[in-house]
């Protein structure tokens, strides 16, 4: 019998679809439709959402409407956890002016991806983030850090754990409040997850400060998630419909689908605060309204079941 004693009683599902999911899709959604999506996600019970990015509009056109989107969401900013990605001081200034209460910074464990995504070195990008993080914390904002390429890099291959841990230590020393570990190209296995979490633990970085962010390129996202849960992780990133990837790493396919994650968590008896039917309705609405491909295996299977039932 499967031993559930090591599992958490509750998990925070950190929805990244409106930012990380949409940034790599070919369909650019109108601002009001994005706002509607976020409101529906909140209505389903999701308590943490990454909603926007303050990068240069020409680099990620799908997210060029950050100020307009946050203006639409203004009544919710004070009562709900919504974050925005900022790349530098200018991005932080825009985010603060827009009323954001949590920002995120995006670091890399590898030099190749730092060059491709940030046009900088690993150390150089961390130097840029230091004053951004300090100013954000001084202004009372929470700061989420991301590390990409934690397990594998399309140019460099397998990534050594010490590279990830070194970047993690720098980010926490600079003042971040939470760190999300990204399997950007989806190559991690459960053994890799255990090894990295153990290495972070050896440096004094607690599980309570960490989140995991898996891509399903090799079909390992749910098994990696379960492993992380058994290792004490209680925050998991996911994207509605499995949307997303990374525009700067072409081998990165879709994120772990929120519907699949919640299906697994509820099946394990883990509380999420999410109404699964409302979440599924949002997924179906998104696909029908936008033409985006919904990649969630759970959503696809349940839609097929419903169609079969209608035919009987």
pLDDT tens for 201-221 read 999 999 999 999 999 999 999
* DSSP letter, residue 10: B
Residue 275 structural domain: 12-311
**305: pLDDT confidence band, cut at 50, 70 and 90?**
confident
Tell whether 271 is covered by a domain: yes
CATH at 166: 3.20.20.70
Tell whether 278 is covered by a domain: yes
CA angle 48, 140, 211 (to 5 degrees): 35
Number of domains in the chain: 1
List, by residue number, the catalytic residues.
246
Predicted model pTM? 0.95
Given a cut of 60, whether residue 114 has pLDDT beyond it is yes
For residue 292 the two structure tokens come to 């985006």
Percent of the chain having pLDDT more than 70?
94
pLDDT for the residue numbered 246 = 54
Tell whether 297 is covered by a domain: yes
Given a cut of 50, whether residue 308 has pLDDT beyond it is no
Tell whether 124 is covered by a domain: yes
pLDDT for the residue numbered 27 = 86
Tell whether 220 is covered by a domain: yes
Tell whether 4 is covered by a domain: no
Alpha carbons 166 and 161: distance in angstroms, whole number: 9
For residue 199 the two structure tokens come to 């290495």
Q: What are phi and psi of 271, to 5 degrees?
A: -80, 135
Query: Shortest CA distance to 179 belongs to which of 146, 140, 224, 151?
Result: 146
Q: What are phi and psi of 187, to 5 degrees?
A: -95, -5
Tell whether 300 is covered by a domain: yes
pLDDT in tens, 61-78: 999 999 999 999 999 999
**312: pLDDT confidence band, cut at 50, 70 and 90?**
very low
Tell whether 221 is covered by a domain: yes
| 253, 184 Cβ separation under 8 angstroms | no
**253: pLDDT confidence band, cut at 50, 70 and 90?**
low
Q: Considering the chain, what is the average pLDDT of its residues?
A: 93
């Amino acid at each position: 019998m499967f031993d559930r004693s090591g599992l958490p009683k509750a998990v925070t599902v950190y929805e990244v679809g409106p930012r990380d999911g949409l940034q790599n899709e070919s369909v650019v959604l109108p601002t009001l439709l994005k706002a509607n999506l976020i409101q529906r996600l909140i209505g389903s019970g999701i308590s943490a959402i990454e909603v926007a990015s303050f990068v240069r509009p020409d680099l990620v056109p799908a997210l060029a409407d950050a100020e307009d989107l946050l203006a639409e969401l203004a009544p919710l900013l004070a009562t709900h956890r919504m974050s925005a990605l900022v790349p530098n001081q200018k991005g932080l200034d825009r985010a603060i002016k827009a009323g954001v209460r949590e920002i995120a910074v995006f670091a890399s464990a590898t030099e190749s991806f730092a060059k491709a995504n940030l046009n900088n070195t690993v150390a150089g990008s961390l130097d840029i983030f230091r004053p951004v993080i300090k100013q954000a914390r001084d202004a009372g904002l929470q700061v989420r850090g991301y590390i990409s390429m934690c397990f594998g890099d399309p140019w460099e291959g397998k990534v050594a754990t010490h590279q990830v841990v070194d970047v993690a230590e720098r980010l926490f020393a600079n003042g971040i409040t939470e760190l999300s570990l990204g399997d950007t190209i989806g190559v991690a296995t459960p053994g890799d997850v255990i090894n990295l979490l153990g290495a972070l633990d050896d440096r004094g970085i607690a599980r309570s400060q960490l989140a995991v962010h898996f891509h399903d390129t090799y079909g390992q996202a749910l098994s990696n998630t379960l492993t992380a849960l058994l290792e004490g992780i209680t925050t998991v990133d996911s994207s509605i419909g499995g949307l997303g990837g990374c525009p700067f790493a072409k081998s990165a396919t879709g994120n772990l689908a929120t519907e699949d994650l919640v299906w697994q968590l509820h099946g394990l008896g883990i509380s999420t605060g999410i109404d699964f039917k409302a979440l599924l309705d949002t997924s179906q609405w998104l696909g029908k309204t936008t033409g985006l491909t919904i990649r969630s295996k759970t959503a696809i299977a349940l839609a097929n079941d419903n169609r079969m039932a209608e035919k009987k």
